[in-house]
Structure 1
Amino acid sequence: MMLGLRGIPNVQGGVEKHVEMLASKLVGHGWDVEVLGRRRYLAGGAAYVWNGVQVIPLWAPRRMALEAIVHTFLGVCVAAWRRPDVLHIHAIGPALLTPLARIFGLRVLVTHHGYDYDRQKWGPFARRTLKLGEFLGMRFSSGRVAISKDIAQTMSARHHVSMSLVPNGVTVTPPTGSAGILQEFGLARRRYILLAARIVPEKRQLDLIQAFAKCGFTDTRLVLAGGAEFETPYVEKVRALAREVPGVVLTGFQSGDRLAELFANAALFVLPSSHEGMPIALLEAMAYGLPVLASDIVANRELDLDCNDYFPLGDIDALAAAVVTKLTAPLNDEEVRERATHAEAKYSWTNVAQKTAAVYDTLLRK
């Protein structure tokens, strides 16, 4: 049973994408998988089966500070009733309820997806709560998974616990050519820069818009594919700046064929974020063979890209110069195919599922 996410399938978020891909692969390995989602993000109010995964919607309050923790509490209560072999809690916020799950006699695996207390949207109280969630999740869980080497090493040193390293994976959905999103937003193939991410401060959309404005392009657009779950001052700033800068396109949240079409036809993917666990969107861009630019934070550097694929976090001028350089030297078709083949081979969801299943097996033998 998986807990700690909004839901699946096609729900915005890195953890959501991780669970969507992992759960369906685990079913293929013979596991029965249940995912507890939050009702407002899922179609309809009843439980349903998707790709062999049982998805159970639970109520959660529509308030940013309470949504995750209340949903996790209800989910732990459901798990205590249904008695899964493993309760798999994703992210350190939901991990706050790990001790309660252990009191109920459950085997609990916690996946650490990133230092969520570093996200800019949280205030001091929320940051302390997330750090407490990390502490409780690492200290009281039956097993622990990290999605990056940095997280695994940091948690081992900080909490003196063993960590299993299971990086994120990537899969490419070949575009059907009939999604129509390019036509809908007036986009031309290889004539736009893409960022696919939620509109939240740590994704730094404002940095990218400002850098794009400095480039002075007349025939290239900037596409920001992503939505906002809550109306915040940052969201309003992004929308206002996007209106002021010619060529910026806000598509809202996209998934499936529409998102695949955006990836497959972009000229460049840029991830200017200040916080990542292991960036699935960047992995997806690599799997499509796209040229990429990423901020030089630890999580992005762990992908070991070429030095020219990184820029200093928050440096608008450096980002603008890097974008111009990338677009003036586009990859040829052979280079695109080579990059795509390498990314898909290195970051396979099949490997992620196999490693996760091995962790489950270890827990069941204890």
Structure 2
Amino acid sequence: MAVNAHAASARTATARQPRLRIMVLGLRGVIDVQGGIETHARRLYPLLARLGCDVEIVQRSAYYPRERRRRGWRRITLTYLWSPRTRIAETAVHTLLGVLYAAVKRPDVLHLHAIGPALLAPLARLFGLRVVVTHHCADYEREKWGPLAKAVLRAGERLGIAFAHWPIVVSPVLKETVETRYGIDATLIPNGAPMATPRRTRHTLRRFDLQPWRYVLCVARLVPEKRQHDLIAAFQAARPPGWKLVFVGEIEQGDGYCQELIAQAARDATIVLAGYQSGVALHELYTHAGLFVLPSAVEGHPIALLEAAVYEVPLLASAIPANLALPLPRNRYFPVGDAKALARQLEVMTQGTAATTAERRALHAAIRANYSWRKAAELTSSVYRNVARGGWQHG
């Protein structure tokens, strides 16, 4: 695909090309909201702003009380549109309002993220908008959705890929799925890995009564398909002496799965629910973790694993296609949902050295070599410029 050739000279070309007006729709918010797509946007769009894009991100007002609403962040314009904060209607209503808003504002490119919002790609095309869709994950595989919601998400995948001027996918697994299922070429732009910012400070560890290198860390949304309950069962079976299990993820009030995790933590002092963490606090938790575990049943392209790898934290991950695509040693995987197998690996990894320094540094180097936010921004900028001047993959 021509995108790679364009990306090589993206920064040079930016100096002599007009700035593009890009509108971004589909995420809940770019600041202080946890989620893979939200992290993707936080990393990607400040770089695109430096590459000649005037970016406007349309956020969901329900996540931002009026006193916390900022109009700009890192050269990005922030807009707030209403949506109900309910599982079924939130995405659909916000995306509909966002497409109508885009039809009035007329950006050079409307970028829809995820297959739920992609359901409105045909409407955006009907309004004459130029549309890019990024497919982040097969959301219809998530446990929380019923048959009707899964059918709607499958329709969103099909319509988003078919009606986008240029479809993007974040993993080789999704690229193969799209091209096999729909016969449509999609541009692969993987998520990047951040620069590690290790912290010598331990304020967050003291706050949660943690000892350096004596806790297992899991950073993920607290939802059933991330399978934190499997990790709890495995940790309680292994019972590594002197270790704790730390979950970083927003605790949503009234959510049934969060309530189950809260109840389990209340009965076991070695389980710590740290809530949503970012910035220095998250850097401290990564820096001093003894082991990072991602037990997910569903992933698109696991940013949290990439982050842990650049901090050189020993890793364990479920053996699902998205995780297997990363350059981890084969003995660092376990069957998804198999708490007994995970418990055996926890026993091994928490006794003595979990991974040699050479192994951790080699993984760090491989991740840094293959997953770059700068490269992702350059590739995305090239897609935008192709679409803005009338190019498309199809349609």
> Into which bin does the TM-score normalised by the smaller protein fall?
over 0.9
Residue by residue over 1:183-239, the C-alpha shift from the partner in whole angstroms, topping out at 9 and shown as x without a partner, is: 100011101000011110000010000000011223000001111346232222222
Quote the Cα distance in structure 1 between the aligned partners of 2:284 and 2:70: 30
Q: Answer yes or no: is 1:25 the counterpart of 2:47.
A: yes
- The runs of at least 4 aligned residues of structure 1 exceeding 4 Å deviation read 175-179, 332-335
Aligned pairs, number: 366
Q: Which runs of 5+ in 1 are unaligned?
A: none
Alpha-carbon shift at residue 362 of structure 1 (Å): 1.8
1:347 corresponding residue in structure 2: 371
Identity %: 45
Counterpart position of 1:172: 195
Matched, 1:135 2:158: yes
Of 320, 326, 331, 1:303 maps to 326
Q: Please state if 1:98 is matched with 2:98.
A: no
Question: Which residue does 1:87 correspond to in 2?
Answer: 110
Amino acid at match of 1:19: A
**Alignment check: 8 A CA contact 2:348 2:354 kept:** no
Corresponding residue of 1:6: 28
Do the aligned partners of 1:114 and 1:151 also contact (CA within 8 Å) in 2?
yes
Q: Once the two structures are superposed, what CA deviation does each residue of 1:5-55 show, in whole Å capped at 9, x if it has no partner?
A: 011123100000001111011011111111101112236365511111111
Give 3-state SS (helix, strand or coil) of 2:192's partner.
coil
Alignment partner, residue 261 of structure 1: 284
Give the superposition deviation at 1:245. 3.0
Taking the aligned partners of 1:220 and 1:176, their CA distance within structure 2 comes to: 21
Aligned AA (2:43) = M
Trace 1:1-366 onto structure 2 (pairs within 5 A). Answer: 1-42=23-64, 44=66, 46=69, 48-178=71-201, 180-229=203-252, 231-328=254-351, 329-333=353-357, 335-365=359-389, 366=391
Q: Does structure 2 conserve the Cα–Cα contact (< 8 Å) formed by 1:289 and 1:338?
A: no
Deviation at 1:336, TM superposition (A): 3.8
Q: Offset of 1:176 from its aligned partner?
A: 4.5
The amino acid of 1:31's aligned partner reads C
Could you say what secondary structure the match of 1:33 adopts? Answer: strand
Partner SS for 1:258: helix
Cα deviation digits, residues 157-188 of structure 1 (max 9, x gap): 11121200001112135145457210100011
* Partner Cα separation in structure 1 for residue 310 and residue 277 of structure 2: 18
The code of the aligned residue for 1:140 comes to F
Q: Which structure 2 segments of 5+ residues have no match?
A: 1-22
**8 A Cα contact 1:228 1:235, kept in partner:** yes
One-letter identity of the residue aligned with 2:367:
A
Report the secondary structure of 1:343's partner residue. Answer: helix
How far did residue 333 of structure 1 move? 4.6
1:209–1:242 Cα contact (<8 Å) kept: no
Q: Distance in 2 between matches of 1:42 and 1:176?
A: 29
RMSD across aligned C-alpha pairs, in angstroms? 1.6
Q: CA deviation at 1:116?
A: 0.2
Residues 279-321 of structure 1: CA distance to partner in whole angstroms, max 9, x if unpaired? 1001101111111000001111111311111001111110011
Q: Partner of 1:125: helix, strand, or coil? A: helix
Q: 2-side partners of 1:229 and 1:117: how far apart?
A: 21
> SS of the counterpart of 1:145?
strand
- Paired amino acid for 2:285: L
Which amino acid letter does the alignment assign opposite residue 331 of structure 1?
A
The structure with higher relative contact order (CA 8 Å, sep 6+) is: 2
SS of residue matched to 1:32? strand
Return the offset for 1:140: 1.1
Q: Normalising by the residue count of structure 1, what TM-score does the alignment of the two structures yield?
A: 0.96
- Please say if residues 225 and 250 of structure 1, whose CA atoms lie closer than 8 Å, have aligned partners that are also in contact: yes
Q: 1:195 to 1:343 in 2, by over 3 A?
A: same
CA contact 2:171–2:190 (8 Å) conserved in 1: yes
Distance 1:75 1:90 in 2: 12
> Retained in 1: the 8 A contact 2:196–2:311?
no
Q: Residue type of the partner of 1:201?
A: P
Conserved? CA contact 2:198–2:311, under 8 Å: no
Question: TM-score, normalized by length of structure 2?
Answer: 0.89
What letter matches 1:96 in structure 2?
Answer: L
